[in-house]
A and B are shown apart, each in its own frame.
Chain A
Amino acid sequence: MTARPPGPVPGQMAARPLRPVLRRVLRPVLALTLALGLSSCASGQSAGDDPEVLRVLAGSEVKDLEPMLARSGVKVKISYTGTLDGAEQVAGGGADGRYDALWFSSNRYLSLIDGASARLSTQTKIMVSPVLLGLRTAKARELGWQDGKATWEQIAGAARQGRFTFGMANPASSNSGFSALVGVAAALSDAGEALDAGQVSAVTPKLKEFFSAQRLTAGSSGWLADAYARQGGVDGIVNYESVLLGMKDLTLVYPSDGVVTADYPLTLLASAPPHKRELYGKLAAWLRTPDVQREIMASTHRRPAVPEVRPGPEFGSAPLLELPFPNRRAAADRLITAYLDEARTPAHALFVLDTSGSMSGERIEALRQTLVMLTGADRSASGTFSRFRSRETVTMIPFSDRVGTPRTFTLPAGDPGPALEEIRGYAGGLGADGGTAIYDGLRAAYVQSLQGDPDHYTSIVLMTDGDNTDGASLEDFESLYRMLPESRRARTFVVLFGESDAAEMNKVAALTGGAVFDARDSSLAAAFKEIRGYQ
């Protein structure tokens, strides 16, 4: 996820959120790294195509490989995007002519979309990593899983009994989350074959038990690992084996009834011209040379993809049973929907919205449209999955020089239609006038969050287009935040817009364990859509 493909296309969303994903190597000083991320994103915007450069559309999961590629002898320009967004872009032909190759952790969801397979040419697997559960060693011992052996059935049982908590990336935004969801569902369904839509419905009650223990969500596997490493707060996380092996004090649980594995296929686009095909061939061959495979294994903890190089001892010797993956898009989408609407801990999303005078005109209109988009106006799969969902509570807190009346919308379990309609009406009525009391608005959000259901997964989005002009200061907010009970300290995800004070907003995100998304030079809608993965 994160940085979107370069080359702005008229009429198309092209947000460049600051990268909330920081891999292990980049961990220290979140805010600083985020600020630096901006300039490196901006360099990828050239419209011209250099015949010597292989343009790759990739998932953030392969970011740690990028430095190595400099030694491949092939010039590579990588643009990062979310798994589902990327898949839709490729299937719809949006990648043709703009990129030469793809590099996601898996092509499986992509291949389920009608018309996608004809757009793909050669696929070359580069490395392998299963999605597993990593638990604090003490917790693993307490549950009797210190040898890393448990079935999903046992894991779901312990989750139901509240014996551990975990974090997992959102299946609609991240391949690791989606893989885990497929694995858990397949293992718990007792079906033996790939799940169809009917079997998904049958297994949903069991999924609900499992996900009752989920206390942390994320838009990407990288951010999830960082958040867990920085703050803990849960007993473990579901993530790629490669990520978990790089973390301290974790016991990896290898579910004996099966896993879903990422194989990172470097994939040539069928639209790529011959000279790009040669570059692709060179790069793919280089990545699969035994030396490079060994280096990938040693430096990133991913298993090799060629039989000549055997996996090292760190991966253990137990054979990994691979669970069948759905072969129909309807089943995959039904599974994600069941997670969002039925199985996951419902969300309480609070939106602190700048309605000051500087927002008038295009900006307030963009905000209105963004909120309308989140009520289901975006009909793409990623749009559908990022809209407000059944069982969710949404609170809108507008502010200018003072805080407006908070308004809470509760989406029922069944038909969310009427509530979505209300939100649409509310969005249409947003105006813009007066000063900018950012921290009054934010403090109101935290006060509101305390009144919400403690069993909901609560998060705050702060959208502002300028400096704080009225009311409380950042320091005032900080002292309020520190008075909150730790269990009720919601994360704040900040959207930079217009003339936002990036440095101060980074402090807010760092303080609350959130992240910053930049919509200053791009679309507010895309930034909000991405943040939905963190709610």
Chain B
Amino acid sequence: MRRSIGIALALLLGAAVVVAVVLGNGAGGPTVVRGVIGSEKKPFFDDSRVRAAFEKHGLRVEVDTAGSRQIATEVDLDGYAFAFPSSLPAAEKIKKDRGVARVFSPFHSPMAVATFKPIADVLAGAGLVRDSGRGYQVLDIAKYLDLVAEGTRWDELPGNTAYPARKRVLLTTTDIRTSNSAAMYLAMTSYVANGEDVVTTAAQVPRAAGKLAPVFLDQGYSQSSTEAPFEDYLVMGSGKTPMVVAYEAQYLSRLFSRDGSITPEMRLLYPAPTVLSKHTLVPFTEQANEVGRLLTEDPELRALAARHGFRTADPSAFTDLVSRHGAPVARDLVDVVEPPTYDRLEQLIGTIERLYAGGAVPQAEGGS
């Protein structure tokens, strides 16, 4: 019943869009296409240059934000022309659920860690951060997980006078139950927790989830969408967010824009291993299809995406910007692992979610 209503609504919506297109063209104004996206892409869609580029093609793209996992599971998509989560697995799920034929992955971004020089120095002293020798710094995830397992606090790190906080050494993430950046972080940490291997079987899930649950739960309250903790990092500094898991693009976008938000103290670290987040647009209407096509093919929009820190099908746009800004960026990422499949990742998240609900101390053997 619910499904048939959904289809009826979708049909109505489709009809409404057709009417809107006809009317829109008649009135000379652009057609409004509304999508729900991961919050980290909102600055891109709000950029007046991006809006102007779409308007050249008769489109006005309006967006609401939600965690990518929420987009795939909770958000009522009937009111939207497209969904644009931050990962391929979430997009594949929506594609399957909605019976969409074609999706677009116009840009991608590796997961990174944004921090501050004094913090990076303290972590280097503790053996967690090293220089790659190729112009950027690397955070060793295996050593980080060891530190978390021991419950280490900042003021217990040797020689730490720069940040003697009494709270635990924990990367700030978003809420694993809602957000893609946290899920991508889980993907990379699960690779390490699973003995340097992608979690592929259900039997591996309880053990890996049990090991990784404190990485999320011990942080306390986490925000639901990726732009929020990154903004806290920019605005409130190391007191609230000494190190935050972010998309590389979030950091580079700010750096490239020279808006002053990236101060000389700030540092970008590449986790080893890391994962790539493939931002993938799932269209539900013809106009949204056009939005996806333009993002993928239109040279102007591709150039703007690079300015927003994304890596696109045209690597030179990105590397040119990196060179121009002297950014400490990994041009070719070597230590990249594949995320688990959607179902496996869901099992990992589901196991941690149950620990949230139950408040139980995670057991290495797992209870499910």
Q: Are B222 and A305 in contact (CB under 8 A)?
A: no
Task: Say whether A306 contacts B235, CB under 8 Å.
Answer: yes
8 Å CB contact of B259 from A192, A257, A308, A320: A308
- The stretch from B70-78, B105-113, B188-196, B270-278 touching chain A is B70-78
Instruction: Tell me whether A192 and B219 are in contact in the complex, defined as CB-CB below 8 angstroms, given that A304-B235, A322-B240 are known contacts.
Output: no
Whole-angstrom distance between the Cβ of A263 and the nearest chain B Cβ: 8
Residues 31-52 (chain A) with a chain B CB within 8 angstroms: none
Chain A residues closer than 8 Å to B79, beta-carbon distance: 274
CB of A307 within 8 A of CB of B65, answer no
Does the CB pair B65–A322 fall under 8 Å?
no
- Inter-subunit contact A128/B235 (CB<8 Å): yes
Q: Is the CB of B356 within 8 A of A327?
A: yes
Contact (Cβ within 8 A) B218 A194: yes
Q: In whole angstroms, what is the CA distance A190 to B70 when docked? A: 34
Instruction: Name which of A11-19, A115-123, A224-232, A513-521 contacts chain B.
Output: A115-123
Question: A418 interface residue, CB < 8 Å from B?
Answer: no
For residue B205, CB closer than 8 A to chain A, the reply is no
B64 engages A121 (CB within 8 Å)? yes
Q: Which among B70, B170, B260 is the interface contact of A117 at CB below 8 angstroms?
A: B70
Q: Which one of B224-232, B293-301, B302-310, B329-337 is at the interface?
A: B224-232
Query: Which residues on B sit within 8 Å (CB–CB) of A118?
Result: 70, 74-75
State the CA gap A278–B60 with chains docked (Å): 12
Q: How far is the CA of A331 from the CA of B218 in the complex (A)?
A: 13
Contact of A192 among B74, B151, B221, B222 (CB under 8 A): B151
Check B70 against A193 for contact (C-beta < 8 Å). no
Checking A258, A285, A306 against B46 with a beta-carbon cut-off of 8 angstroms, the contacting residue is A285
- Contacting residues, chain A, for B228 (C-beta < 8 A): 123, 125
Assuming the contacts A190-B166, A319-B239, A322-B240, asked whether A327 and B220 have C-beta atoms less than 8 A apart, the reply is: yes
**Contact between chains at B220 and A194 (CB < 8 Å):** yes
Partner of B220, one of A125, A303, A304, A326: A326
A193 & B236 in contact (Cβ 8 Å cutoff): no
In whole Å, how far is B118's beta carbon from the nearest beta carbon of chain A?
10
- A320–B224 CB distance below 8 A: no
Q: Nearest chain-B residue to A280 (Cβ)? A: B64
Give the docked Cα–Cα distance between A321 and B166 (Å).
Answer: 10
Check if A108 is an interface residue, CB within 8 A of chain B.
Answer: yes
Q: Given A192-B151, A327-B219, do A270 and B359 touch, yes or no (CB 8 Å)? A: no
Residue of B65, B74, B220 near A324 (CB, 8 A) is: B220
Residue-by-residue, is B235-265 near A (CB-CB < 8 Å gives 1, otherwise 0)?
Answer: 1111111000000000000100001110000
Contact with B along A231-275 (1 / 0, CB 8 A): 000000000000000000000000001100101000010100010
Closest chain-A Cβ to B149's Cβ sits at a distance in Å of: 13
Residue A477 lies at the interface, judged by CB distance under 8 Å to chain B = no
Given A277-B64, A320-B239, verify A111-B224 contact (CB < 8 Å).
yes
Residue of A nearest to B357 (CB): A328
Q: Mark A414-450, 1 if CB is under 8 A from B, else 0.
A: 0000000000000000000000000000000000000
**Does B268 count as interface, using CB distance less than 8 angstroms?**
no
Q: Does A333 make an interface contact (CB < 8 A)?
A: no
The A319-364 residues at the B interface (CB cut-off 8 A) are 319-328, 330-331
Docked-complex contact A193 and B260, CB < 8 angstroms: no
| Residues of the A chain whose Cβ atoms lie less than 8 Å from the Cβ of B259 | 307-308
- Cβ contacts under 8 Å, A319 to chain B: 237-239
State whether the Cβ of A281 lies closer than 8 Å to any Cβ in chain B: yes
Decide if A197 is an interface residue (CB 8 Å cutoff): yes
Measured CB to CB, the closest approach of chain A to B15, in angstroms, equals: 16
Partner of B65, one of A121, A263, A304, A321: A121
Q: Which residues of A contact B (CB under 8 A)?
A: 108, 111-112, 117-118, 120-123, 125, 128, 187, 190, 192-197, 257-258, 261, 263, 268, 270, 274, 277-278, 281, 285, 303-308, 319-328, 330-331
Tell whether, in the assembled complex, residue B166 and residue A192 are in contact, meaning their CB atoms are under 8 Å apart: yes
Does A123 lie within 8 Å of B356, measured CB to CB? no
In the bound complex, how far is the Cα of B178 from the Cα of A307, in angstroms? 25
Give which listed residue, A117, A197, A258, contacts B359 with CB less than 8 A: A197
A307 and B151 within 8 A (CB)? no
Q: Is the CB of A330 within 8 A of B359?
A: yes
Q: Is B53 an interface residue (CB 8 A)?
A: no
Map CB proximity to A onto B66-91 as digits: 1 under 8 Å, 0 otherwise.
Answer: 10001000111001000000000000
With both beta carbons as reference points, the residue of chain A lying nearest to B224 in the complex is identified as: A117
A194 and B34 in contact, given A270-B76, A274-B79, A320-B239 (Cβ under 8 angstroms): no
Residue of A nearest to B218 (CB): A193
The 10 A-B pairs at the shortest CB distance, nearest first, are namely A194-B220, A324-B220, A307-B261, A322-B240, A325-B221, A193-B218, A319-B239, A307-B234, A192-B168, A320-B239
B binding-site residues for A, Cβ under 8 Å: 34, 39, 42, 46, 62, 64-66, 70, 74-76, 79, 151, 153, 165-168, 170, 178, 214, 217-222, 224-225, 228, 231-232, 234-241, 254, 259-261, 356, 359
A327 touches B222 (CB 8 A): yes
Q: Which chain B residues border A112 with CB–CB below 8 Å?
A: 221
Kindly state the separation between the CA atoms of A326 and B234 in the bound complex, as whole angstroms.
Answer: 23
Chain B residues within an 8 Å CB radius of A128: 235-236
Distance in Å from the Cβ of B82 to the closest Cβ of chain A? 14
- State A125–B223 Cα separation when bound (angstroms): 12
Contact assessment for A261 and B236 in the assembled complex, using a CB-CB cutoff below 8 Å: yes
Chain B hits for A258, CB < 8 A: 165-167
Contact status B76-A193, CB under 8 Å: no
Known A118-B74, A322-B240, A328-B356; judge A193-B62 contact (CB<8 A): no
Question: A190 vs B359: C-alpha distance in the bound complex, in angstroms?
Answer: 19
Task: Assess whether B239 is in contact with A328, with CB atoms less than 8 Å apart.
Answer: no
Shortest A372–chain B CB gap in Å is 33
Identify B34's interface contact among A108, A270, A274, A304, CB under 8 A.
A274
The reply to whether A194 and B239 contact each other, CB–CB distance below 8 Å, is no
Given contacts A192-B166, A194-B219, 14 further A-B contacts (CB under 8 A): A120-B224, A122-B65, A125-B228, A192-B168, A193-B168, A197-B359, A257-B166, A268-B64, A281-B62, A307-B254, A321-B239, A324-B218, A324-B221, A327-B217
Which residues on the A side are within 8 Å of B170 (C-beta)?
193
Sample (30) of A-B pairs whose CB atoms are under 8 Å apart: A117-B74, A123-B228, A187-B166, A192-B166, A192-B168, A193-B214, A193-B218, A194-B217, A194-B218, A194-B219, A258-B165, A258-B167, A270-B75, A270-B76, A274-B62, A277-B64, A278-B62, A307-B231, A307-B234, A307-B260, A319-B237, A321-B239, A321-B240, A322-B241, A323-B167, A324-B218, A324-B221, A325-B221, A326-B220, A330-B359
CB A334 to nearest CB in B, in angstroms, measures 10
Chain B contacts for A303, CB-based, 8 A: 235
A111 neighbours in B (Cβ, 8 Å): 221, 224
How far does the alpha carbon of A3 sit from the alpha carbon of B251 in the complex, in Å? 42
Contacts of B238 in A (CB 8 A): 319
A111 to chain B, nearest CB (A): 7
CB distance from B170 to the nearest CB of A (A): 7
A278 to B168 CA separation, bound complex (whole angstroms): 41
The smallest C-beta distance from B290 to any residue of chain A, in angstroms, reads 19
Chain A residues with CB under 8 A of B39 = 122
- The reply to whether A324 and B167 form a contact with Cβ atoms under 8 Å apart is yes
B224, A123: Cβ atoms closer than 8 Å: yes
- Of B178, B214, B234, B240, most A-chain CB atoms within 10 Å: B240
Known: A268-B64, A327-B356. A320 touches B217 (CB 8 A): no
Tell me, in angstroms, the Cα distance from A274 to B76 when the chains sit together. 13
B219 proximity list for chain A (CB < 8 A): 193-194, 324, 327
**Cβ B221 vs Cβ A320 within 8 A:** no
Which residue among A120, A195, A197 has the maximum number of chain B CB atoms within 10 Å of its CB? Answer: A120
Asked if A320 and B168 sit within 8 Å, CB to CB, the answer is: no
Q: Say yes or no: A193 contacts B220, CB within 8 Å.
A: yes
- Bound: A195/B65 CA distance, A: 30
Task: Tell me if A108 and B221 are in contact (CB < 8 A).
Answer: yes
Q: What B residues does A197 contact at CB under 8 A?
A: 359
